């Protein structure tokens, strides 16, 4: 993505521009006190009193889209003035109020904003303007940013795209900087800058206006994730964000918006990258076991949902292998028990490998395709995210595998002894072909998948020694 210095400048003031390029955010004066009061009153008239919609009330998430439309009309003239005063050739493309009510759940999780523009060429940003004074000392949920975190953001962010920072959430939080922002002042942050806000511990709601701002010459975009690494860039207009909330756009894009580019996003966020960025030791990535994969009674020891467990599963062979599983029973029966099979798991699906249904002598699971941070495996109290090229062996413990997407999780599951010897070459070959497939239409991709499936099976019994060497190479850092 863009080198921060390579895009046209955003700010008129050289100091503000330097702050933005270096730190990913800057502070500027925006609205006078009287304008804040007037805005607060007008907003209340159109949205009603706060407190009825929960801890955090965000217009963009409201079912009643007329509020988004009214908010846009209300703030556009004011914000256009603010933008013209401080920025060169930019416009407002999105506006929502964020009301943080006094509530234990009123904190905002750590995130970057969505990619509003083609970030290979342009920089977009967000104007965050509180209508009341905010600070850590006041305790009303000040905005917190991670300086320089815009330099980490080399991935596309949109509907259903991988949440790349989640394994490092806890570690990243040490770099959060709470900002003191008076009513009417504005923080302008690069949309890639990681930010969050703490809980409102006071007795009054904290209201802030949040506006998306992009360069005039940039096309407004909405990014979706139809595959593990496939990203679709849709050209949209301002009305898109007024009419449609984030969920609608995730399910299906309205017909009137055209795909302008389809790309493969190979970006990753590794501990080594974070170590280089922070000049501190590399963090340990954490795995979040989603609620969908939370097992019944006998799985109660697994850490569910928002709690995290350390990645202690050693990739490539350290996990004991269940001698069979329900899934394998079905798949192997269909394909012939001696053969290796490719299993595709849809997004939001999970399965259990159940050793109680013991049938085979052991299995190896090779990951052919998985979205970054989107798929995982849990064994006992350990869990790991699944990445293409990894190989796991399982023994007699219950194992659960999940896929949160985007795209299908594709695993090659085979009898342990045979696959251990010869998987490497096949995994590399099949994974390579899958990678080339990601930009093809679904029907073609499915046909090719079928061919890969049939070819992969016999490949596994060939040239085990050479394959093992290739696998070792594949695993080199
Ligand atoms: O207003 C807040 O507390 C946070 C707003 C925010 O993170 C956002 O709109 O992306």
pLDDT digits (tens, 9 = 90+) for 16-33: 999 999 999 999 999 999
Going by pLDDT thresholds of 50, 70 and 90, the confidence category of residue 191 is: very high
Beta bridge partners of 343: 411
Question: Could you tell me if the CB of 131 is within 6 A of ligand 1?
Answer: no
* Angstrom distance (rounded) from CA 477 to CA 465: 21
Residue 55 and residue 155 share a domain: yes
Q: Which two tokens stand for residue 225?
A: 């994730």
Q: What is the pLDDT of residue 389?
A: 74
Q: What is the pLDDT of residue 7?
A: 76
What's the mean pLDDT in 33-50?
94
* Angstrom distance (rounded) from CA 93 to CA 90: 10
Q: What is the pLDDT of residue 458?
A: 34
Residue nearest to atom 7 of ligand 1 (CA): 196
What's the mean pLDDT in 390-408?
75
Residue 156 and residue 68 share a domain: yes
Question: Could you tell me if the CB of 141 is within 6 A of ligand 1?
Answer: yes
Domain ends where: 216, 242, 276?
A: 276
Q: What is the pLDDT of residue 390?
A: 76
Q: What is the pLDDT of residue 383?
A: 78
Q: How much of the chain is in helix, strand and coil states, percent to nearest 5?
A: 30, 25, 40
Question: Could you tell me if the CB of 113 is within 6 A of ligand 1?
Answer: yes
Condensed to tens digits (0 to 9), the pLDDT of residues 302-311 reads 332 223 222 2
Going by pLDDT thresholds of 50, 70 and 90, the confidence category of residue 322 is: very low
* Angstrom distance (rounded) from CA 199 to CA 104: 6
Q: Which two tokens stand for residue 42?
A: 């007008």
Atom of ligand 1 nearest to the CA of 143: 3
Atom of ligand 1 nearest to the CA of 100: 3
Condensed to tens digits (0 to 9), the pLDDT of residues 44-70 reads 999 988 776 689 999 999 999 999 999
Provide the CA 56 distance to its chain's centre, in angstroms: 21
Going by pLDDT thresholds of 50, 70 and 90, the confidence category of residue 456 is: very low
pLDDT score of 205 more than 50: yes
CATH number at residue 345: 2.60.120.10
**Tell me, what DSSP letter sits at residue 304?**
P
CATH number at residue 219: 2.60.120.620
Domain count, the chain: 2
Residue 334 and residue 223 share a domain: no
* Angstrom distance (rounded) from CA 192 to CA 326: 43
Which of 90-104, 112-126, 318-332, 446-460 is predicted with the least confidence, judged by mean pLDDT?
318-332
CA of 211 to the centre of ligand 1 (A): 10
Cα dihedral 450, 452, 456, 459 sign: positive
Going by pLDDT thresholds of 50, 70 and 90, the confidence category of residue 399 is: confident
| 380, part of any domain | yes
* Angstrom distance (rounded) from CA 11 to CA 216: 13
Residue 363 and residue 260 share a domain: no
Domain ends where: 242, 276, 310?
A: 276
Residue 306 and residue 269 share a domain: no
Question: Could you tell me if the CB of 210 is within 6 A of ligand 1?
Answer: yes
pLDDT score of 392 more than 70: yes
Residue 325 and residue 250 share a domain: no
Question: Could you tell me if the CB of 150 is within 6 A of ligand 1?
Answer: no
* Angstrom distance (rounded) from CA 83 to CA 368: 47
Longest alpha-carbon distance in the chain: 78
| 295, part of any domain | no
Residue 326 and residue 236 share a domain: no
Residue 163 and residue 72 share a domain: yes
Residue 212 and residue 336 share a domain: no
* Angstrom distance (rounded) from CA 166 to CA 308: 10
Question: Could you tell me if the CB of 197 is within 6 A of ligand 1?
Answer: yes
Going by pLDDT thresholds of 50, 70 and 90, the confidence category of residue 343 is: low
CA of 84 to the centre of ligand 1 (A): 23
Residue in 21, 214, 188, 210 with CA at minimum distance from that of residue 124 = 214
How many residues would you count in the chain? 477
What are the residues whose beta carbons fall under 8 Å from the beta carbon of 248, sequence distance 6 or more?
A: 254
* Angstrom distance (rounded) from CA 192 to CA 146: 10
* Angstrom distance (rounded) from CA 317 to CA 197: 41
CB contact at 8 A, 118 and 233: yes
Going by pLDDT thresholds of 50, 70 and 90, the confidence category of residue 446 is: very low
CA of 51 to the centre of ligand 1 (A): 17
Condensed to tens digits (0 to 9), the pLDDT of residues 345-382 reads 777 777 766 544 433 445 667 787 899 999 988 776 67
CB contact at 8 A, 467 and 405: no
| 289, part of any domain | no
Going by pLDDT thresholds of 50, 70 and 90, the confidence category of residue 206 is: very high
Pairing of strands 221-224, 206-215: unpaired
Question: Could you tell me if the CB of 195 is within 6 A of ligand 1?
Answer: yes
Residue in 153, 159, 246 with CA at minimum distance from that of residue 194 = 153
Residue 430 and residue 374 share a domain: yes
Question: Could you tell me if the CB of 112 is within 6 A of ligand 1?
Answer: no
Q: What is the pLDDT of residue 363?
A: 62
CA of 328 to the centre of ligand 1 (A): 45
Residue 75 and residue 211 share a domain: yes
Helix axes 442-459, 416-437, angle to 10 degrees: 150
Going by pLDDT thresholds of 50, 70 and 90, the confidence category of residue 247 is: confident
Residue-number span of the structural domain to which 249 is assigned: 14-276
Burial level of 320, CB count in 10 A (0-12/13-18/19+)? middle
């Amino acid at each position: 993505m863009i080198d921060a210095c390579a895009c046209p400048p955003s700010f008129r003031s050289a100091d503000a521009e330097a702050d933005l390029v270096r730190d990913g955010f800057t502070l500027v004066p925006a609205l006078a006190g009287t304008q804040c009061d007037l805005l607060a009153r007008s907003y209340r008239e159109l949205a009603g009193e706060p407190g009825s919609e929960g801890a955090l009330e965000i217009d963009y998430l409201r079912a009643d889209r007329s509020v988004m439309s009214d908010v846009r009309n209300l703030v556009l003239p004011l914000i256009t003035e603010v933008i013209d005063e401080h920025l060169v050739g930019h416009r407002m493309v999105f506006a929502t109020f964020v009301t943080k009510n006094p509530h234990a759940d009123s904190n905002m999780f750590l995130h970057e904003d969505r990619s509003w523009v083609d970030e290979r060429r342009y920089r977009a940003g967000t104007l965050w303007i509180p209508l009341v004074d905010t600070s850590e000392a006041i305790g009303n949920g000040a905005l917190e940013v991670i300086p320089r975190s815009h330099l980490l953001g080399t991935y596309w962010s949109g509907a259903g795209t991988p949440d790349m920072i989640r394994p490092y959430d806890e570690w990243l939080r040490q770099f959060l900087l709470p900002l003191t922002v008076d009513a009417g002042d504005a923080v302008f942050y690069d949309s890639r800058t990681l930010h969050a806000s703490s809980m409102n511990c006071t007795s009054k709601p904290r209201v802030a206006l949040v506006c998306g701002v992009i360069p005039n010459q940039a096309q407004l975009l909405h990014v979706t994730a139809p595959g593990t690494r496939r990203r679709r860039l849709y050209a949209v207009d301002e009305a898109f964000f007024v009419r449609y909330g984030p969920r609608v756009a995730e399910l299906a894009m309205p017909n009137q918006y055209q795909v302008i580019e389809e790309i493969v996003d190979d970006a990753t966020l590794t501990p080594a990258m974070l170590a280089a960025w922070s000049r501190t030791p590399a963090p340990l990535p954490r795995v979040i076991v989603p609620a969908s994969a939370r097992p019944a009674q006998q799985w109660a020891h697994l850490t569910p949902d928002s709690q995290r467990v350390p990645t202690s599963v050693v990739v490539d062979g350290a996990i004991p292998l269940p001698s069979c599983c329900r899934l394998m029973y079905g798949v192997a029966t269909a394909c012939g028990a001696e053969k290796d099979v490719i299993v595709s798991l849809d997004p939001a699906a999970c399965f259990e490998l159940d050793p109680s249904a013991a049938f085979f002598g052991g299995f190896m699971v090779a990951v052919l395709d998985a979205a970054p941070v989107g798929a995982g495996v849990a064994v006992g109290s350990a869990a790991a995210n699944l990445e293409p090229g990894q190989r796991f062996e399982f023994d007699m413990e219950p194992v659960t595998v999940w896929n949160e997407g985007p795209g299908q999780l594709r695993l090659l599951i085979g009898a342990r002894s045979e696959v251990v010897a010869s998987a490497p070459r096949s995994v590399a070959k099949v994974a390579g072909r899958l990678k080339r497939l990601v930009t093809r239409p679904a029907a073609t991709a499915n046909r090719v998948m079928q061919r890969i499936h049939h070819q992969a099976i016999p490949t596994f019994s060939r040239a085990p020694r050479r394959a093992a060497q290739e696998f070792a190479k594949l695993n080199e850092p």
